[in-house]
Structure 1
Amino acid sequence: MATKKTTFTKSSSGMLPWLGLALILLIADQFTKVLILGYYRLGDATTITSFFNIVRVHNTGAAFSFLASAGGWQRWFFTAIGVAAALFIVWMLKSHPGQKLFSFALACILGGAVGNVIDRTLHGYVVDFLDFHYAGWHFPAFNIADAGISIGAVCLILDELLRVRRAKA
């Protein structure tokens, strides 16, 4: 019985730094979105460099505005997916706190997923504002949460490639 309690305590405390990272990402995401909502109207833009603008865009869909023109059901569908993903990630963090790259990736995805769930719940859309462009081509606008999710996804792929490489060695 004591072994299980020790394992639980060790596992729980091992995931705290990763939850802290997710919280920092979440706070940065929400803070920047509050600034955008406070200072920009929908469609407003500020040119920062020749390849980067700050804009205010509302995304009712998922990544790259997937399903943005659906009838409104996607708000709760993507919210449910985000909540389910967050719960699964917390469980994974609890199970693998010592795997640094893996846990870093999960923490980034967790912070981003929760940030976008908050937007969908409060506003019915996700606030995007980072607009990179080149020669008239614009990458879809995104936010800090999206960047966290993307960085986390890349790190998950890297972690798996490194794990497979170690297994072959």
Structure 2
Amino acid sequence: MYQWVVLFLFVSDILSKVIAERKLKFHPKSILGGAIHLYYVRNFGIAFNKLNHRKWLILTLNFVLLFYIFSLYTAPNMDKMGISLVLAGGLGNTLNRLFRGYVIDFIYFNIKGSPVFNLADFYILAGIIMILLEELMIV
């Protein structure tokens, strides 16, 4: 069942990035009274633009982390939904970086200093939160 979650979220992320590139590249949009801005950004780094333009180092880290995350499916007492979210997000951003050399970001919360996100970033964050909450409840 969880493989379908990963597939659905992965495809949703990829489609959202294609739509962002086609629709937002030259026509940014504001929604919710300007609280959220949608615009096209090429992100050549990771986590708040760290390791900027170090594609092969980032890809190596991505593949190591994806392998580790995938291996967690067999671990007992792991939150499979949380792992699925992290895996789907990681796959989406890794695929983007592998074939484009950058990740497409397009969601900006109108808060000074806030980074620009994509759906994969939200999946990863939500998955990590779910895994941490599960771990806290088990202990």
- TM-score normalised over the length of structure 2: 0.90
2:122 to 147, 152, 157: 147
Residue 104, structure 1, aligned to residue 81, structure 2: yes
Q: Is the 8 A contact 2:10 2:89 kept in 1?
A: yes
2:67 corresponds to which residue? 87
CA contact (8 A) 2:41 2:104 kept: yes
2:14: which partner in 1?
A: 30
Q: CA deviation at 1:31?
A: 0.3
Q: Where does the alignment leave 5 or more consecutive residues of structure 1 unmatched? A: 1-16, 165-169
Number of the residue aligned with 1:114: 91
Q: Distance in 1 between matches of 2:19 and 2:39?
A: 12
% identical aligned pairs: 26
Match in the other structure for 1:3: none
- Tell me how far apart the structure 1 counterparts of residues 28 and 106 of structure 2 sit (CA, whole Å): 9
Q: CA RMSD in A?
A: 1.6
Shift of 1:41: 2.3
Tell which structure's C-alpha radius of gyration is larger.
1
Counterparts of 1:67 and 1:154, CA distance in 2: 24
Q: Tell me what 1:10 maps to.
A: none
Give the match for residue 103 of structure 2: 126
Unaligned segments of structure 2, at least 5 residues:
none
Query: For this pair of structures, how many residues does the alignment match?
Result: 138
Separation of aligned partners in 2, 1:127 and 1:114: 13
> C-alpha displacement at 1:138, in angstroms?
4.9
| Higher share of residues assigned helix | 1
Aligned counterpart in structure 2 of residue 53 of structure 1, from 37, 41, 54: 37
Which stretches of structure 1, 4 residues or more, deviate above 4 A after TM superposition?
A: none
Aligned partners of 1:82 and 1:117 also within 8 Å: yes
Q: How far, CA to CA, are the matches of 1:30 and 1:150 in structure 2?
A: 17
Write the deviation string for residues 35-79 of structure 1: whole angstroms up to 9, x where unpaired.
11122327x5211122011111111110111222xxx3x211121
Match of 1:12 in 2: none
Q: Does 1:77 align with 2:61?
A: no
